[in-house]
Amino acid sequence: MKSSHPISYNFIMKTVGIIGARNIGASIAFFLAEQRITKTILYDSSDGIAQGKSLDLMEAAPIRHFDTMVSNTQSLDTLLKTDIICIALEAPSATPASEFTTLLPQLKELAQFLKHYTGIVLIASRANEACTTVFSKLSDLNSDHVIGVGTLVDSMRIKNNIAQELGIVAEDVQAPVFGMQGSNAIIFPSYISVSGIPLPELISASKIQNIIKEVQEMNNNLLMLSKDRGVYYAQAAAAVEIIEAIIYNENRVLCSCTVGNFHIPDIALSTTQVINAKGIHTKMQSTLEHKKLSDIENTANQIRTIIGTVS
Amino acid sequence: MKRQKVVIVGAGNVGATAAYFIAKENIADVLLLDVVEGLPQSKGLDFSHTGSFHGYDIHIRGTNDFKEIKDADIIVHTAGIARKPGMDRMDLLKINVGIVTDVSHAIRQYAPNALVVVVANPLDIIALACLQETGFPSSRVFGMAGVLDSTRLRYFIAEELNVLPDDVFSMVLGGHGDTMVPLPRYTTVAGIPLTELLSDKKIKELSLRTQKGGAEIVNYLKTGSAYYAPAASTAKMVITLLHGQRTIIPVSVFLNGEYGQKGIFLGLPVILGPKGIEKTIELSLNKEELSALQHSAEEVQKGIEELKILRSSSI
């Protein structure tokens, strides 16, 4: 497959370090290799996983025409020179809270280790808003440089479901999702549009509500189907969308989370943000905050509950 | 599996650039057809020489022979002349209607199952002439206008907000000309209504710039008109059709009562699918928007009257 992106010949290829080489991390490396846009270094705290996955990927290169390298390292120090670090730790479990609790010790260590990192950190783990909040706080990095994939994955899912309902291509659909990933995602029908046409002009209100509910429950349903082995393609694709926006300095308007959105200083909440090579360029929250601030406050409290008292 | 075939009638700048964008997809053979001897052949050959860089599996060729459009799946009609100094609307119309009439007869004879994308101007009138002369169902003859007009508006908005144009969606309806109707209420940035992001004054300014978008380029070029964005917009429609996808886009479409209009082509949102126009979508327009659309339809109607006069005088 050829990349659809125009790559100029003086383009200096950026390096992405991926911490966590299980399903999410390896899928990110896979999508990046297929797009041929970065050098990728995989790291995993369990010996052998990063080595095995990177070698497997590179052995596909002659057939899939990657001209980019997916390598591995057993030392986190190697990753300090990268342009982007993507944290893709995972511990599939039934609830975001239990997943977060399992990941917390590693997350704390990484936050300490990356305190002076000069690139952009992208959090792709599940329990995303909680992980992003804690990492951002403990690493003390500039909050514009710590981005969580947040509700981008829910936004992709809703686009897909609406496209299927209407029998059209998903790229015609725009659907921002606010707050946090999963069952508590905040979705406003009036903010979903198809080629600019507000969705309520195309689908009945009850059908829209069904689609929203389905998307909110999607993660739980997929987890159940996978027998709790985890769901990861959409999560990885969302991370790659953000990595591309950073690498190409695109000023893309993407749902994602960073600390400080909606003027809530202690929690990373998802909203539409403009992302470029500098990380978060601007927020694009529009008048949402006046409309549904109570929903947002509730979501912030839910994330506070998941996090508990981390110091 | 038989490879699909796209014929582009008119090997000028719009036609040749559209051929480039379509060929780049590497999924359909592209044939450039023009009456000027040697011109389409030279462009086809020149493109073919880039094959080793582009990895083309498809063929791009040029011809002067109408018979070669045989079995085309999609025909793009770009052929026509631009208005020259001293020429009035009727002079121009006469020439371009003459061209589309010949082309339509050839399409009817050699490619009776094709979808026809009309690009030549005056768009809404040429599309009507093409529909009448091919005798095709109106689902298979439609015009490229709204995609171009809305891509211009999308670009202006993206530039103003400093965001990627991909993330801006907009609807621009009506005839392809000064009376086109940009719809701010049907314009969104990653789903957020434009009206929440820019002031009314700024939106009006960008809408006006969109309406004059073609003229702005002509003023710069002096002796030519825009072709990159028109070709890209044409290719976008063709590529959607080639991939067998369905999409909601503004297209110049023949109306049979929708929006209170009958017997004219007008830019409206449609579902475009592998078989052409599947459905015209009726938006809940407010009074002001409806009246702007009505005004635009009246302008198109004037063009149709001219077409009638032209036809009656040539008998």
Residue-wise pLDDT tens digits, B285-301: 999 999 999 999 999 99
The answer to whether A165 touches B156, Cβ cutoff 8 Å, is no
Closest chain B CA to residue A188: B191
Q: Measured between alpha carbons, how far is B157 from B176 in angstroms, rounded to an integer? A: 20
Residue A294: pLDDT over 80: yes
Tens digit of each residue's pLDDT (9 = 90 or more) over A43-82: 999 999 999 999 999 988 888 877 789 999 999 999 999 9
A84 vs chain B: nearest CA distance in angstroms? Answer: 21
The ipTM is: 0.84
The answer to whether B176 touches B266, Cβ cutoff 8 Å, is no
* Predicted pLDDT at B294: 96
Task: For residue A288, list chain B residues with Cβ-Cβ distance below 8 A.
Answer: 192
Would you say the CATH fold of B146-305 matches that of B4-143? Answer: no
Closest chain A CA to residue B170: A196
Tens digit of each residue's pLDDT (9 = 90 or more) over B111-126: 999 999 999 999 999 9
CATH class of A14-148: alpha beta
> Is B146-305 a domain of CATH 2.60.40.10?
no
Closest chain A CA to residue B168: A196
Which of A277-302 are b and which e, b meaning 16 or more Cβ less than 10 Å from the residue's Cβ?
Answer: eebbbbebbbebbeebeeebeebbeb
Token code pair at residue A210: 């069904």
B27 vs chain A: nearest CA distance in angstroms? Answer: 13
The angle, 0 to 180 degrees and rounded to 10, between the axes of the packed helices A205-225 and A152-166 is 120
Residue A2: pLDDT over 50: no
What is the CB neighbour count within 10 angstroms for residue A86?
Answer: 30
Instruction: Encode B56-92 in three state secondary structure.
Output: CCCCEEEECCHHHHCCCCEEEECCCCCCCCCCCHHHH
Element (H, E) at B53: helix B51-54
The vertex-B128 CA angle with B125 and B130, nearest 5°, equals 110
Residue B153: pLDDT over 70: yes
Task: For residue A287, list chain B residues with Cβ-Cβ distance below 8 A.
Answer: 196
The verdict on B190 touching A (C-beta cutoff 8 Å) is yes
Residue A250, amino acid: E
- Taking the domains of chain A in order of start, what are their residue ranges? 14-148
Q: Mutation test of the interface with chain B: which of A253, A256, A275, choosing the one with the most B Cβ atoms within 10 A?
A: A253
Cα first-last separation, chain A: 46
Are A251 and B163 in contact (CB < 8 Å)? Answer: yes
The verdict on A284 touching B (C-beta cutoff 8 Å) is yes
- Taking the domains of chain B in order of start, what are their residue ranges? 4-143, 146-305
Residue located via tokens 């045989």: B70
The vertex-B112 CA angle with B111 and B118, nearest 5°, equals 75
Phi, psi of A262 (to 5 degrees): 55, 25
Task: For residue A169, list chain B residues with Cβ-Cβ distance below 8 A.
Answer: 240, 245-247
Beta strand B247-256 with B262-273 is antiparallel
Average pLDDT score over residue span A3-15 = 57
Instruction: Tell me how far CA of residue B186 lies from CA of A116, A147, A198, A283, B313, in angstroms.
Output: 45, 30, 7, 22, 43
Options 3.40.50.720, 3.40.190.10, 3.40.50.300, 3.20.20.80; CATH of B4-143: 3.40.50.720
* Residues forming beta bridges with residue A253, ordered by sequence position: A274
Percent of chain B, pLDDT > 90?
Answer: 85
Q: Measured between alpha carbons, how far is A173 from A142 in angstroms, rounded to an integer? A: 32
Residue A105: pLDDT over 80: yes
- Nearest of A195, A276, A193, A198 to residue B153 by alpha carbon: A195
DSSP secondary structure code for residue A227 in this structure: T
- For chain A, the 3-state helix, strand and coil shares in percent, each to the nearest 5, are 50, 20, 30
Closest chain A CA to residue B282: A201
Q: Mutation test of the interface with chain B: which of A3, A168, A249, A285, choosing the one with the most B Cβ atoms within 10 A?
A: A168
Task: For residue B163, list chain A residues with Cβ-Cβ distance below 8 A.
Answer: 251-253, 274, 284
**Which residues of B are tagged catalytic?**
176
Token code pair at residue B191: 């789903």
* Predicted pLDDT at A290: 60
Tens digit of each residue's pLDDT (9 = 90 or more) over A214-263: 999 998 888 888 777 778 899 999 999 999 999 999 999 999 999 999 98
* Predicted pLDDT at B157: 96
Tens digit of each residue's pLDDT (9 = 90 or more) over B65-76: 999 999 999 999
The answer to whether A127 touches A99, Cβ cutoff 8 Å, is yes
What is the CB neighbour count within 10 angstroms for residue B263?
Answer: 11
Length of chain B (residues): 315
Task: For residue B166, list chain A residues with Cβ-Cβ distance below 8 A.
Answer: 252
Burial class (CB in 10 A: 0-12, 13-18, 19+), B183: buried
Length of chain A (residues): 311
Instruction: Tell me how far CA of residue A124 lies from CA of A44, A241, A302, in angstroms.
Output: 14, 11, 19
What is the CB neighbour count within 10 angstroms for residue A200?
Answer: 14
Closest chain A CA to residue B24: A4
Q: What is the mean pLDDT of chain B?
A: 94
Token code pair at residue B158: 């993206």
Are B171 and A195 in contact (CB < 8 Å)? Answer: yes
Indicate the pLDDT class of residue A211, thresholds 50, 70 and 90.
very high
B196 vs chain A: nearest CA distance in angstroms? Answer: 6
Residue A289: pLDDT over 60: no
The angle, 0 to 180 degrees and rounded to 10, between the axes of the packed helices B228-242 and B146-161 is 110
Residue located via tokens 């083309």: B56
Q: Is A127 helix (H, G, I), strand (E, B) or coil?
A: coil
Are B193 and A168 in contact (CB < 8 Å)? Answer: no
The vertex-A148 CA angle with A146 and A151, nearest 5°, equals 150
Candidates A168, A169, A196; nearest CB to B187: A196
Candidates B190, B191, B247; nearest CB to A168: B247
Beta strand B115-118 with B141-143 is parallel
Q: What is the mean pLDDT of chain A?
A: 90
* Predicted pLDDT at A1: 36
* Predicted pLDDT at A4: 44
Tens digit of each residue's pLDDT (9 = 90 or more) over B161-212: 999 999 999 999 999 888 999 999 999 999 999 999 999 999 999 999 999 9
Indicate the pLDDT class of residue B315, thresholds 50, 70 and 90.
low
Task: For residue B237, list chain A residues with Cβ-Cβ distance below 8 A.
Answer: none
The verdict on A254 touching B (C-beta cutoff 8 Å) is yes
* Predicted pLDDT at B312: 86
* Predicted pLDDT at A3: 42
Tens digit of each residue's pLDDT (9 = 90 or more) over B260-281: 999 999 999 999 999 999 999 9
Residue located via tokens 């579902």: B271
Burial class (CB in 10 A: 0-12, 13-18, 19+), B37: exposed
Task: For residue A196, list chain B residues with Cβ-Cβ distance below 8 A.
Answer: 150, 169-171, 183, 186-188
Token code pair at residue A204: 């009945």
- Nearest of B251, B23, B234 to residue B143 by alpha carbon: B251
